Amino acid sequence: MTEHNETATRILDAAETLFAEQGFTETSLRSITARAKVNLAAVNYHFGSKEELVQAVFERFLTPFCRRLDKALDELMARSEQSTTPNLEGVFGVLARNMLSGVESARNDNKLSIFMRLLGLAYTQSQGHLRHYLREHYDATYRRFILLIHQSTPHVSPNELFWRIHFAVGAAVFTMGNVETLRAMALNDTHQDNTLENILDKLVPFVANALSEDRDH
């Protein structure tokens, strides 16, 4: 699974980029192997099938991400042991810091964009096998995160919170996954270029405020 193979890595790099740009089905194995400069048959040799390649792409960034997130959540809970309810900003801060932690240099902004775009595709492009795979491997961390958010906003009913969280997920996935397109539109409309940090600075309060808001519903 997690061998440090030269060819396999090059395939994963190429696939990750092309999948994010074009989607899964519209990206052919031939275009992947051409970009990776490896032989066509290398994909089936190293990964078995195209479906397993898709899963491997997700695994490469989702597994370390969830491992780091789990550990960070452990620390957060240990620190706030006495106060039984963790606070929302803390939980979200942990998530945000984890998402940005893979992005050190300023110019691979697009790493985060690719990340979000792939997550969006996982929802949008049915790809039944992918949804099954993700549920099987990462559902535990997901549920734990949801539970913590719930505990940190006890005044919001579980059902109401569920939907607010997914409104927020939608806002994040949609905008971050289509950053280039939207940035171009914003440049036309408001004559102002936006760095990814700028956009995140608008997104985070949007989400935080909307999640905890105590509304009459």
Partner DNA sequence: CGCTGATTCAAACAACCGTTTCAAACGACT
Partner DNA sequence: AGTCGTTTGAAACGGTTGTTTGAATCAGCG
- 44 makes contact, choosing from a second copy, DNA, none, with CB < 5 to 8 Å by partner type, with DNA
Neighbours of 156 (CB within 10 A): 20
Q: Is 173 in the site for a second copy (CB under 8 A)?
A: yes
Distance CA 91, CA 94 (A): 5
**C-alpha 211: how far from its chain's center?**
19
Site string for DNA, 40-69 (x = CB under 7 A): xxxxxxx--xxx------------------
- Total number of residues binding a second copy (CB under 8 A)? 51
Provide Rg for the chain, Cα atoms.
19
Name the one range near a second copy by CB under 8 A: 10-18, 36-44, 94-102, 202-210: 202-210
* Sign of the dihedral defined by the CA atoms of residues 1, 135, 64, 168, in that order: positive
**Residue with tokens 């240099």, as numbered in its chain:** 105
For 15, the token pair is 């696939």
**Candidate residues 72, 76, 77, 171; the one interacting with a second copy per rule CB under 8 A:** 171
Q: Is 136 in the site for a second copy (CB under 8 A)?
A: no
When the beta carbons of 138 and 162 are compared against a second copy, the nearer one is 162
For 22, the token pair is 């074009």
Measured in degrees and rounded to the nearest 5, phi and psi for residue 121 equal: -65, -35
Distance CA 25, CA 23 (A): 6
Distance CA 73, CA 142 (A): 12
When the beta carbons of 38 and 179 are compared against DNA, the nearer one is 38
- 7 makes contact, choosing from a second copy, DNA, none, with CB < 5 to 8 Å by partner type, with DNA
For a second copy, the binding residues (CB under 8 A) are: 21-23, 25-26, 120-121, 123-126, 131, 143, 146, 158-160, 162-164, 166-175, 177-178, 181-182, 185-186, 189-190, 192, 194, 199, 201-203, 205-206, 209-210, 213, 215, 217
